[in-house]
Amino acid sequence: MALRNIRINDDPILRKVCKPITEITPRIRELAQDMLDTMYDADGVGLAAPQVGVLKRIVVIDVGEGPITMVNPEILTSDGEQTGSEGCLSVPGKFGIVTRPNHVIAKYYDLDMNEQTIEGTELLARAIVHELSHLDGDLYIDHVEGELHDVSELSEEDGSGE
Ligand code: ZN
């Protein structure tokens, strides 16, 4: 298990466009495993390579249904709408309200370079859109409705979070 440093806030690497992966090398496998380890360690549901300083098109997601590693992912269709709170491991201690599609179909390559498709609704759809956006330097804070809130404001409520 190897944890990588998560890039945060104004780190310029978070705003770069990532390059496609052309070959699954041992280094890419190691990166994917490290990204999962780092995501679980930070209690996240997704992590994209630029968040650990690597400008390659790979993300990991686990919304509680097991780990998914997506190489060169692309959204094929998205529809519906969901509005809810969203956070990011690269913007620690904050959350904001973002409207995302409620249903997404995406294609990607797995670590054997086999093409896969994934269909997600609700949290999985939100996670797919959020993580894939990272690959183009797009952060959720660009899409927040109203203000970005401190997570500490949440704990002052009655704790009945989503
Ligand atoms: Zn994020």
The pLDDT score that the predictor gives to residue 161 is 46
- Which pLDDT band holds residue 4 (cuts at 50, 70, 90)? very high
The pLDDT score that the predictor gives to residue 154 is 73
**Local structure of 40: helix, strand or coil:** helix
Contact 90, 113 (CB under 8 A): no
Residue 158 CB partners (closer than 8 Å, separation 6+): none
Q: What's the sign of the alpha-carbon dihedral 5, 140, 104, 56? A: negative
Kindly give the distance from the C-alpha atom of residue 88 to the centroid of ligand 1, in angstroms, as a whole number. 4
- To the query of whether residue 131 is one of the catalytic residues in this protein, the response is yes
Kindly give the distance from the C-alpha atom of residue 112 to the centroid of ligand 1, in angstroms, as a whole number. 25
Residue 134 CB partners (closer than 8 Å, separation 6+): 14, 48, 49, 50, 51, 59
List 131, 145, 156, 157, catalytic entry: 131
The pLDDT score that the predictor gives to residue 157 is 54
**Local structure of 77: helix, strand or coil:** strand
pLDDT in tens, 74-122: 999 999 999 999 999 999 999 999 999 999 999 999 999 999 999 999 9
pTM over 0.85: yes
Q: Which residues surround ligand 1, an ion (CB under 5 A)?
A: 88
The pLDDT score that the predictor gives to residue 17 is 98
